[in-house]
Amino acid sequence: MSKALKPPTYNTNIEPIGVDLVITTIQYALVGLTWLNQSLGRVYPKIVDGKTEPWIYKDDAEYYRAYPNDTLESFSCIYAHDDEQPDKEIYQTRSVSIIIWVNLQKLGIQTPSTEMLKREVWRVLRDLDCVLSFTVTKDQTTSGTTAIYPGFDVSGLEDRYNTYPYGAFRVECVTKFADLCY
- The predicted pLDDT at position 172 comes to 94
Q: Is residue 30 part of a domain?
A: yes
- The more confident residue out of 80 and 57 is 80
Q: Is residue 66 part of a domain?
A: yes
Q: Which of 22, 165, 11 is nearest to 98 (CA)?
A: 22
Q: How far apart are CA 145 and CA 115, in angstroms?
A: 17
CATH of the domain at 29: 3.30.70
Average pLDDT over residues 15-30: 90
Q: Is residue 9 part of a domain?
A: no
Element (H, E) at 25: helix 18-30
> Which long-range contacts does 13-18 make (Cβ < 8 Å, 24+ apart)?
18/84, 18/92, 18/177, 18/179
Q: Is residue 1 part of a domain?
A: no
Q: Is residue 52 part of a domain?
A: yes
Beta carbons of 70 and 139 less than 8 angstroms apart: no
Domain count, the chain: 1
How far are the Cα atoms of 2, 78, 85, 100 from residue 81, in angstroms, in the given order? 26, 10, 12, 16
Does position 11 have pLDDT exceeding 70, yes or no? Answer: no
Q: How far apart are CA 117 and CA 122, in angstroms?
A: 9
Q: How far apart are CA 20 and CA 42, in angstroms?
A: 8
- The predicted pLDDT at position 100 comes to 95
Domain coverage including residue 113: 18-178
Percent of the chain with pLDDT over 90: 45
Q: Is residue 136 part of a domain?
A: yes
Q: Is residue 12 part of a domain?
A: no
Q: Is residue 162 part of a domain?
A: yes
